[in-house]
Structure 1
Amino acid sequence: MAIPLSLLDLAPIAPGQSARDSFAASVELARAAERSGYRRVWYAEHHNMPTIASSATAVLIGHVGAHTDRIRLGAGGIMLPNHSPLVIAEQFGTLGSLFPGRIDLGLGRAPGSDQTTLRALRRSNESADTFPQDVLELNGYLAGRSRIPGVRAVPTPAEPVPLFILGSSLFGAQLAAQLGLPYAFASHFAPDALHQAVAVYRDTFRPSEQLAEPWVIAGVNVFAAEDHDRAVEMRAEAYRARTRGMLTRGGAPADFTDAEIDAFLESPEGRGLAAMTRYTAAGTPAEVREFLEGFAKEAGADELITAHHAQRIEDRIRSVELTAS
């Protein structure tokens, strides 16, 4: 496939498995992506989610980095309002020093969790208001040009860690364009503003030291298998599990049958949930390739970051391999 492919790994914890199992799976997934020619693997910061193990994102990146050789690794993303820019600069300066030329830093302004967890993070709703200034402060630390007199982030990597702005609205598109940074749109779960955001980004982009021309990364869900029906079955299994998880958050009963989940997804509320994953490729390698090429053209994307959600790690690895074939 001509367009570069990358991988988003949420480090899911499957039923009956541990976080340690999840981390081992993430290593194998990254190795498969490396063998298959993917450009990068990103991990997302989420908190208080029992089925996602990527909360300590920088630690996970370091673990996977030690078990891979060439592929770029990064955060997609770090929710910067949860942290001080200095601490993130120290973490990613360390990663950039350990794995030169292999580390990315994607930044978002959402909390990555619910309001109660937000308070546990010692974060307020106003923290996101300083996101643009925090990005500039962080960039200064990583570039060895601190904006805070007398304060520097140690270590400072020999090769700058590139920044990416993540978003699902026009705010991120406008900020990425203003700062001259690559823009990654979360169309794999928040597709509504994709086309408008990409247009705004491209129309208002200003070149920077990091980037001369706009660069758009678009998220897309993928279920690839040798057999079409098996890929469709994997999609149904994964999205039922996702829906069941959302319905049972907060202690609701967990014993929904597949038929009950399917019925919910046909309801008005359920159709809204299902629409969040409208950009999903499911099928044989040829069918997936056709979908991704059409999606990239429609979205105006320079790169696709693919999220493979099959329940079994063996199926996710095979999906990664077949998508790149």
Structure 2
Amino acid sequence: MALLDVPLSLLDRSRTRAGEPDALALLSTIERARLAEELGYHRFWVAEHHAVPGIASGSPAVLAAAVAARTSQIRVGSGGVMLPNHAPIVVAEQFAVLESLHPGRIDLGIGRSLGFSAPMREELRAHDADPERFLDDVAAVRAFLDGRGRVTATPRLATPPPVFLLAGGRGLSLAARAGLPVAVGGPVLDDPGPLDEYRREVAAAGGEPYVIASVTVMIADTEEAARDLLLPEAWALAASRSTGAFPPLEDVGSVRERTLTPKQRTAVERFLSSAVHGTAEQVAERLTDLVRRTRADEVMATTATFDRAEQSRADTALASLFAPSSRNRVPVPR
């Protein structure tokens, strides 16, 4: 089995589990990062979700600080900070602090999603996801990090952390206009056209395009077992679309016992069909095809299941599919 020759990274959303305190999800994120570092993963990113019962990570800068403090080599960042929720100078100074404490290891991933619900958007005072304002705010963050802002963001940095944009289809054009590296997932990975256009636009402007393909991955001894391990996440997504609440992960047995509506069943199957899952050999083949089609510079796995031991085994199996040489020669996009 040929090994993939691109860097491998992880995005962890600090998923809560039914019957457990939320704090355990955060502690689990830190332990997962420690294992990822041992396994040779390149980056470990954390998320921003507010007032979502199934996700404990509401403050990526704080959680990234905890992860970076308990690791020593792996790059740590946000996947991502939702910029409409924050003042650009606050984001810049948070990540300037992180970069000062952990030089050369910090990434700033930025997205433009608003809160999960209308009440949450009210509490965040975030009402505007206008793409032009978003680009202006991204430019402001970069200016503050570079020491070019209207005021001086502190601490001042000799070398600011790289900035990435999280993007779907339309977001790719925003990343191209900003000349920034991009992390993409979802249906856009099925169509190389927008990715090719992103690369052309960035290169034409004198930049260096960089694409991280973000994909749900699960490895087990059989394809059926891998599918089962994805059921808790698939059910949570289906439930959120029918009830408006994104729940904690449940164990596989409980999910199997549920009677799903046709709409929920469709949502579960759609999630499973979009995920890369199976045996190590099957996953290697599918990821190789993904990298070939998208020309991705890096793969970032987004994987969660109820059983943390199974999750650790899957993380270990996935790391074994990537060539060790790819972990030591990764450019840091600027």
- Given the two structures, how large is their TM-score scaled by the length of structure 1? 0.87
Name the counterpart of 1:159.
Answer: 159
8 A contact 1:168–1:193 mirrored in 2: no
Q: How do residues 109-128 of structure 1 correspond to structure 2 at under 5 angstroms?
A: 109-125=112-128
Cα distance in 2 for partners of 1:176, 1:230 equals 37
Name the counterpart of 2:324.
Answer: none
8 A contact 1:28–1:317 mirrored in 2: no
Match of 1:30 among 29, 33, 36: 33
Cα distance in 2 for partners of 1:251, 1:176 equals 29
Cα distance in 1 for partners of 2:274, 2:140 equals 35
SS in 2 for 1:226: coil
Cα distance in 2 for partners of 1:27, 1:251 equals 22
Cα distance in 2 for partners of 1:293, 1:72 equals 24
In the alignment, structure 1 segments of 5+ residues that lack a partner are none
Cα distance in 1 for partners of 2:246, 2:196 equals 41
1:196 deviates by: 3.6
After superposition, the C-alpha distances for 1:177-212 in whole angstroms (9 at most, x for unaligned) are 22221011132xx5577534312211211477xx84
Cα distance in 2 for partners of 1:60, 1:158 equals 24
SS in 2 for 1:205: helix
Give the fraction of aligned pairs with identical amino acids, expressed as a percent.
34
Cα distance in 2 for partners of 1:212, 1:219 equals 22
1:226 deviates by: 3.4
85-94 or 31-40, which deviates more: 31-40
Name the counterpart of 1:298.
Answer: 293
Alignment pair present for 1:88 and 2:87: no
1:175 deviates by: 2.1
- Given the two structures, how large is their TM-score scaled by the length of structure 2? 0.85
The RMSD of aligned alpha carbons is 2.6
Cα distance in 2 for partners of 1:237, 1:283 equals 16
Alignment pair present for 1:201 and 2:204: no
Higher RCO structure, 1 or 2 (CA under 8 Å, sep 6+): 2
In the alignment of these two chains, the number of paired residues is 312
After superposition, the C-alpha distances for 1:253-283 in whole angstroms (9 at most, x for unaligned) are xx9973655x53xx36753564355431212
Name the counterpart of 1:176.
Answer: 175
8 A contact 2:16–2:54 mirrored in 1: yes
SS in 2 for 1:137: helix
Note closer, same or farther for the CA distance 1:260–1:18 as it changes in structure 2 (3 Å cut): closer
Cα distance in 2 for partners of 1:321, 1:300 equals 24
Counterpart AA for 1:322 = A
Counterpart AA for 2:201 = T
